[in-house]
Structure 1
Amino acid sequence: MTLKKIEIMDTTLRDGEQTSGVSFSASEKLNIAKLLLEELKVDRIEIASARVSVGEFQAVKGITNWANAHGYLNQVEVLTFVDNGVSINWMLEAGAKVQNLLTKGSLNHLTYQLKKTPSQHFKEISESILLATQKGIKTNVYLEDWSNGMRNSKDYVFEYLEFISKQPVERIMLPDTLGILTPWESYEFVSVIKTKYPHLHFDFHAHNDYDFGVANVVEALKAGADGLHLTVNGMGERAGNAPMASTIAVINDFMPTLKVGVNEKVLYTVSKLVETFSGVMIPANKPVIGANVFTQTAGIHADGDNKKNLYFSNLLPERFGRTRQYALGKASGKANILKNLQELGLQLKDEDLKKVTQRIIELGDKKEVVTKEDLPYIISDVLDSHSYEEKIKVDSYVLTHAKGLRPSTSISITIEGKTFEENAQGDGQFDAFMNAIRSIFRKKKLILPDLIDYAVRIPPGSHSDALCETIITWKSPEKEFKTRGLDSDQTVSAIKATEKMLNIIIN
């Protein structure tokens, strides 16, 4: 069976840049263009609108210079206008060779925006196409507002198609400009057009205003569409365009008679780069590329994955250059923790594993996600915590820090069944805490060891909510020893390390 090749045109740099608040620099545009064509291997890219600005001109020129040197120039496209050759001259100066000519796909737009008749519009379009051809520029045409045209002025759309079918154009682009189509309309409209003009190449351009972007794309392909316009991360005006990653995955998994040349392996890499350059964050639950998509949280899922991959589907993370992860938190079970330990090359006895599991559940109640990188710290903390009998307990404390005032603390601790309270000030919150402890110990005629080193570590790649490990080195007349504390708050982790020290010396 011969598979039908579907052309993928990426319009992240043109339509995607219409995302509110997004403006790529010339350097960013060039880097994204290179990645799209060389690594992601889309068939074409639409990189800009003609006549927009001096900066846009320089960005286009940078891309066309690179594309010309590397054999990609005919895959680089620019949106142009019916404007008596102004856009064509702009393209020639910028070095572009393919125009996507914006024309009217609905009688409503033609009548009330351009205030022209179909024959007037068609005449100007044909002149624009002829001029482009004479200048060595290939032409694709957009039918702006085509979806409304099919709903409300179908006769005009077919009059236009009859006209354009006789023009030297490469592709006819059918945009759902306002994102109003339903999947059944997408199928119906593309089908009736493709049936009448089976030998013409039609691109389908979906928007996502009703969250129908991918569904509309699927139906347009079923109806015979020859190409798609997509954007990385679904960027675009209003609710955005049909997203690249989801669409490619759906075609590969559910449309066996079609093929695309896009390299799935680099979808995630490209998505993260565009996220960085655009400043538009990828939602954690975004299909295929979201942070949580390949993360199992429930322990039962990890257990099932250990038993013949019961919770796997065809949507494997490795396809997209990603790995499956098992979240650590209050919903974690032993299986989740075992999976993470395997990745770290660690093994624990069943008894220790139970302690670590309980500690992770406790931390999960305070901190939504415990990372794999946190795990060695937690293990160290838990196993160290049970190396002594707990005779001293820090019951509660209040730490204060205000600009212009010395930090202070109020604490309550229990020593061998008896409770003591104390207030103190210090050079910092932890220093104030230690001064309060010293005061209590003096009353008990107990001596504290000297603090000789204080080190703080957080797991690599962590954020502001990361678990923090504080390692304090103490020196008493008898020995030098270390204690560790773990918490998402640095001062609290130091207090926990101190509580362990107190129990060691009292024992």
Structure 2
Amino acid sequence: MATRKLEIMDTTLRDGEQTSGVSFSVSEKLTLAKLLLEELNVDRIEVASARVSEGELKAVQHITSWAKESNNLNKIEVLSFVDRGKSIQWMEDAGAKVQNLLTKGSLNHLTHQLKKTPEQHFNEIKTAIQSASDAGIASNVYLEDWSNGMRNSIEYVFEYLDFLSELNVDRILLPDTLGILTYTETYKYINQIVHKYPKCHFDFHGHNDYDLSVANVMEALKAGCHGLHLTINGMGERAGNAPMASVIAVINDFMPDIQINVKESSLHKVSKLVSTFSGFSIPVNKPVVGDNVFTQTAGIHADGDSKKNLYFNDLLPERFGRKRKYALGKTSGKANIKKNLQELGLSLNDDELKKVTQRIIELGDKKEIVSKDDLPFIISDVLDSNTFTQKVFIRSYVLTHAKGLKPSTTVAVEIDGKLFEEHAQGDGQYDAFINALKKIYDAKQLKLPKLVDYAVRIPPGSDSDALCKTIITWNDGKKQFKTRGLDSDQTVSAIKATEKMLNLIDNE
């Protein structure tokens, strides 16, 4: 099958920076420029708008200085304006060699924003392109609001394209500025243009206002466009731009006749860094780069994956430098747990696996996800519970903590089938709980062990907040021993450790 080369232009540093609240520093822009060109291997990057600020000028100067040394200068593009040469002077100061000239692609914009005739606008554009050429700057031309132009003033668009096709322009950039196109319109309009102007290079620049940007990109490619404008994580004004990761995956999986240079394996890495620099968080369900998109939660899916990968598709996480995960929570089954145990090099018998599964389901009712790193703690807690016969049950408790008042606890304990209840205060909630217990055991003329040490841990490496393990060391006058409690709440985990202590001394 014959292939055609497609250019990918990333505009995260220009159009993506128009995301509300996002502003990259000079060093961040330089770092991302290097990463986009050398790590992700996009063909071109649009890094700034001319004349925006002193900081923007400094950022572009740093980028072009690096790009000149690394032979990437022709890949650095700047949005410029029809402004009697001011943008060209700015670009010369910045060291940039490619302008993306912003012009009007709809009669509506031209008439009401610029208040000019097509002839006036075209003459100014011709002058701007000639000035750029005289300064050694190559020109691409944006047709702002082109999509509305095709809908409402198609005669103007073709009049303009007739004019542009005779100028010294490298690329004509067709933006769906307001994200209004359907995929059928995208194909129709671009197909018309590509066939009418076979010697011109056309880029499609899609926005995502109706969540159709990826579909529109597919149709633009089918219609024969030569380049795409994308942003990392779909950043951009309003609903953002067509997202890089999704589009690259779609091209590679569904459009084998199209050849691109972008490295799939770097998408996740670059996505994370852009998210860090921008403060623009990635939705967990964002295709390809979201935290949850390669995580199986339902036990039936994990079971199917163990049986000839029944729940796999072509979006294998390894393509993007990632791994498949099996979430642990209330919808987990034994298959999920087995998958995680295999990664940890652990094994359990059927009875132990059943008990661990039940404990994870209980925790899942409180928290959404239990991480793989929590598993050893859960296993330890479950197996530890098998070392005694439970006769003492802490049936209920009320913990109170109010400003200006000492913490207090009311606790109800069942011992050998009888219920005892007491109330006490303390220096903290757990101290109040222990004081209430002492009252109960003093009334039974029983002595509680002395608390020697109290340690709280979370699972090493865990990135969840599901579990807290409390380890309490006790001394009964003859020996020291430890009990452990596991829960999503620190005080509750301490109470569970204490309940185990009560059972151990009752079993002696």
Same fold? TM cut 0.5: yes
Determine whether 1:109 maps to 2:109. yes
Matched residue SS, 1:178? coil
Structure 1 stretch displaced more, 67-76 or 124-133: 67-76
Residue type of the alignment partner of 1:66: W
Percent of residue pairs bearing the same amino acid type: 72
User: Displacement of 1:466 after TM fit?
Assistant: 3.0
Match of 2:54 in 1: 54
How far apart are the structure 2 equivalents of 1:108 and 1:6?
31
Q: Which residue number in structure 1 is paired with residue 175 of structure 2? A: 175
Q: Structure 2: which amino acid aligns with 1:503?
A: N
Counterpart position of 1:329: 329
Change (3 A) 1:460 1:165: farther
TM-score, with length taken from structure 1: 0.98
Distance in 1, Cα, partners of 2:312 & 2:25: 40
Equivalence for 1:94: 94
- Indicate the residue corresponding to 1:268 in structure 2: 268
Equivalent residue letter for 2:409: T
Structure 1 stretch 214-223 or stretch 27-36: which is displaced more? 27-36
Q: Distance in 2 between matches of 1:426 and 1:457?
A: 23
Q: Which residue of 1 aligns with 2:13?
A: 13
Contact in 1 for aligned 2:381/2:485 (Cα 8 Å)? yes
Instruction: State the distance in 1 between where 2:219 and 2:354 align.
Output: 51
Alignment of 1:166-205 (within 5 A): 166-205=166-205
Letter in 1 for 2:403: K
Could you tell me whether the CA contact under 8 Å between 2:285 and 2:291 is conserved in 1? yes
Question: Quick check: 1:459–1:466 contact (8 Å CA) kept in 2?
Answer: no
Question: Relative to structure 2, which stretch is displaced further, 16-25 or 225-234?
Answer: 16-25
Shift of 1:231: 0.5
Give the Cα separation in 2 of the matches to 1:350 and 1:431: 39
Taking the aligned partners of 2:412 and 2:198, their CA distance within structure 1 comes to 83
User: Structure 1 residue 288 and structure 2 residue 288: aligned?
Assistant: yes
Given that 1:183 and 1:215 are in contact with CA atoms closer than 8 Å, whether structure 2 keeps it comes out as: yes
Distance (whole Å) between structure 2 residues aligned to residue 463 and residue 349 of structure 1: 27
8 Å CA contact 1:10, 1:44 repeated in 2: yes
Matches within 5 A, 1:348-427: 348-427=348-427
Aligned with 1:396: secondary structure? strand
Tell whether the 8 Å contact from 2:77 to 2:97 is kept in structure 1 after alignment: yes
Q: For the Cα contact (< 8 Å) 1:458–1:466, is it kept in 2? A: no
What is the Cα-based RMSD across aligned positions, in Å?
1.1
Q: TM-score, normalised by structure 2?
A: 0.98
Q: Which amino acid aligns with 1:126?
A: K
Structure 2 counterpart of 1:255, one-letter code: M
Deviation at 1:403, TM superposition (A): 2.1
Q: Are the counterparts in 1 of residues 363 and 466 from structure 2 also a CA contact under 8 Å? A: no
Within a 5 Å distance, the mapping from 1:93-492 to structure 2 comes to: 93-462=93-462, 465-492=465-492
Task: Report SS of the residue matched to 2:365.
Answer: helix
* Amino acid of the structure 2 residue aligned with 1:257: D
**SS of 1:167 mapped into structure 2:** coil
Which residue pairs with 1:26 in the alignment?
26
Whole-angstrom distance in 2 between the partners of 1:412 and 1:464? 31
In structure 1, C-alpha distance between the alignment counterparts of 2:199 and 2:473, rounded to whole Å: 79
Which sections of structure 2, spanning at least 5 residues, go unmatched?
none
- Counterpart CA distance in 2 for 1:187 and 1:471 is 65
- Compared with structure 1, are the counterparts of its residues 460 and 98 closer, same or farther at alpha carbon in structure 2 (3 Å cutoff)? farther
CA distance in 2, matches of 1:30, 1:452: 56
* Counterpart AA for 2:346: L
Deviation at 1:37, TM superposition (A): 0.8
Using the alignment, how far apart are the partners of 2:290 and 2:464 within structure 1?
Answer: 20
- Deviation, 1:386, is 1.6
Q: Which moved more, 1:142-151 or 1:454-463?
A: 454-463
| Alignment: residue pair count | 507
Quote the offset at 1:463 in angstroms: 5.6
* C-alpha distance in structure 2 between counterparts of 1:361 and 1:186, whole Å: 48
In structure 1, the gaps of 5 or more residues are none
Amino acid of the residue matched to residue 139 of structure 1?
S
Assess, with a 3 A threshold, how the Cα gap between structure 1 residues 183 and 4 changes in structure 2: closer, same or farther.
same
**1:32-86 CA deviation, whole Å, 9 max, x = no partner?**
1111111111111111111111111111112112222222111111100000110
Letter in 2 for 1:225: C
Letter paired with 2:53: S
Indicate the larger mover: 271-280 or 141-150: 271-280
288-297 vs 65-74, greater mean Cα deviation? 65-74
- CA spacing shift, 1:455–1:257, aligned 2, 3 Å: same
Farther off after superposition, 217-226 or 195-204:
195-204
Counterpart of 1:79 in structure 2 is 79
